[in-house]
Amino acid sequence: MHEMSLAVGILQIVEEAARAQRFQRVRSIVLEIGELSAVEPEAMRFCFDAVSRGTLADGAELDVITVAGQGLCFNCNKTVPLAALYDPCPACGGHPVQPTGGTEMRVKELEVE
Protein backbone atom coordinates (compact mmCIF):
# COMPACT_ATOMS: atom_id res chain seq x y z
CA MET A 1 0.00 0.00 0.00
CA HIS A 2 1.98 3.00 -1.27
CA GLU A 3 -0.64 5.37 0.15
CA MET A 4 1.03 4.99 3.55
CA SER A 5 4.33 6.45 2.31
CA LEU A 6 2.42 9.17 0.45
CA ALA A 7 0.52 10.02 3.66
CA VAL A 8 3.84 10.35 5.49
CA GLY A 9 5.00 12.71 2.75
CA ILE A 10 1.86 14.82 3.08
CA LEU A 11 2.40 15.06 6.84
CA GLN A 12 5.99 16.20 6.22
CA ILE A 13 4.73 18.93 3.87
CA VAL A 14 2.23 20.07 6.52
CA GLU A 15 4.88 20.09 9.27
CA GLU A 16 7.30 22.10 7.09
CA ALA A 17 4.54 24.62 6.36
CA ALA A 18 3.77 24.86 10.09
CA ARG A 19 7.41 25.65 10.88
CA ALA A 20 7.62 28.24 8.12
CA GLN A 21 4.26 29.90 8.78
CA ARG A 22 4.07 29.29 12.54
CA PHE A 23 0.66 27.68 12.88
CA GLN A 24 -0.23 25.20 15.59
CA ARG A 25 -2.99 23.04 14.19
CA VAL A 26 -4.37 21.88 10.84
CA ARG A 27 -8.15 21.65 10.51
CA SER A 28 -8.36 20.44 6.92
CA ILE A 29 -6.18 19.51 3.98
CA VAL A 30 -7.31 19.68 0.36
CA LEU A 31 -5.57 17.23 -1.95
CA GLU A 32 -5.76 16.99 -5.70
CA ILE A 33 -5.44 13.39 -6.82
CA GLY A 34 -5.39 12.49 -10.50
CA GLU A 35 -7.48 9.61 -11.81
CA LEU A 36 -4.34 8.17 -13.42
CA SER A 37 -2.12 8.53 -10.34
CA ALA A 38 -2.78 5.03 -8.92
CA VAL A 39 -3.69 6.62 -5.57
CA GLU A 40 -6.90 5.37 -3.97
CA PRO A 41 -8.60 8.28 -2.12
CA GLU A 42 -10.19 6.11 0.59
CA ALA A 43 -6.91 4.33 1.26
CA MET A 44 -5.21 7.73 1.45
CA ARG A 45 -7.75 8.94 4.03
CA PHE A 46 -7.23 5.80 6.12
CA CYS A 47 -3.44 6.06 5.98
CA PHE A 48 -3.40 9.78 6.71
CA ASP A 49 -5.60 9.26 9.77
CA ALA A 50 -3.10 6.67 10.99
CA VAL A 51 0.09 8.69 10.44
CA SER A 52 -1.33 11.98 11.72
CA ARG A 53 -2.33 10.71 15.18
CA GLY A 54 -0.64 12.77 17.87
CA THR A 55 0.57 15.43 15.39
CA LEU A 56 -0.62 18.93 14.56
CA ALA A 57 -2.80 17.32 11.85
CA ASP A 58 -4.53 14.89 14.23
CA GLY A 59 -8.23 14.89 13.34
CA ALA A 60 -7.77 17.05 10.24
CA GLU A 61 -10.29 16.48 7.49
CA LEU A 62 -8.78 15.26 4.24
CA ASP A 63 -10.74 16.60 1.27
CA VAL A 64 -9.94 15.06 -2.12
CA ILE A 65 -10.49 16.77 -5.46
CA THR A 66 -10.31 14.30 -8.34
CA VAL A 67 -8.43 15.51 -11.42
CA ALA A 68 -9.62 13.92 -14.67
CA GLY A 69 -7.16 12.06 -16.84
CA GLN A 70 -6.24 13.48 -20.22
CA GLY A 71 -3.62 12.81 -22.80
CA LEU A 72 -2.13 13.83 -26.11
CA CYS A 73 -2.56 11.31 -28.91
CA PHE A 74 0.58 11.08 -31.04
CA ASN A 75 -1.46 9.53 -33.85
CA CYS A 76 -4.12 12.25 -34.36
CA ASN A 77 -2.44 15.02 -32.32
CA LYS A 78 -5.57 15.68 -30.21
CA THR A 79 -5.85 16.23 -26.48
CA VAL A 80 -8.37 13.65 -25.31
CA PRO A 81 -9.92 12.39 -22.06
CA LEU A 82 -8.03 9.37 -20.78
CA ALA A 83 -9.72 6.86 -18.48
CA ALA A 84 -6.64 4.69 -17.85
CA LEU A 85 -2.95 4.69 -18.68
CA TYR A 86 -2.14 2.90 -21.93
CA ASP A 87 -5.72 3.15 -23.21
CA PRO A 88 -6.08 3.86 -26.92
CA CYS A 89 -7.12 7.29 -28.09
CA PRO A 90 -10.92 7.62 -27.79
CA ALA A 91 -10.94 9.85 -30.91
CA CYS A 92 -9.00 7.69 -33.38
CA GLY A 93 -8.21 4.44 -31.55
CA GLY A 94 -4.48 5.03 -31.99
CA HIS A 95 -1.45 4.64 -29.75
CA PRO A 96 0.47 6.01 -27.98
CA VAL A 97 -1.43 8.52 -25.87
CA GLN A 98 0.90 10.52 -23.62
CA PRO A 99 -0.77 11.45 -20.31
CA THR A 100 -0.85 15.23 -19.84
CA GLY A 101 -3.15 15.45 -16.81
CA GLY A 102 -4.56 13.31 -14.07
CA THR A 103 -1.27 11.75 -12.94
CA GLU A 104 -0.60 14.29 -10.20
CA MET A 105 -1.12 14.35 -6.47
CA ARG A 106 -0.56 17.57 -4.60
CA VAL A 107 -1.52 19.44 -1.46
CA LYS A 108 -3.68 22.30 -2.71
CA GLU A 109 -4.83 23.98 0.52
CA LEU A 110 -4.48 23.90 4.27
CA GLU A 111 -6.97 25.31 6.76
CA VAL A 112 -5.02 26.08 9.90
CA GLU A 113 -5.31 27.66 13.34
Annotated binding site: 2, 73, 76, 89, 92
Measure the CA–CA gap between 17 and 82, rounded to whole angstroms. 34
Do 113 and 23 form a contact (C-beta atoms < 8 A)?
yes
Residues that constitute the known binding site for Ni(2+) = 2
Residues that constitute the known binding site for Zn(2+) = 73, 76, 89, 92
Measure the CA–CA gap between 25 and 20, rounded to whole angstroms. 13
N-terminal to C-terminal alpha carbon distance within the chain? 31
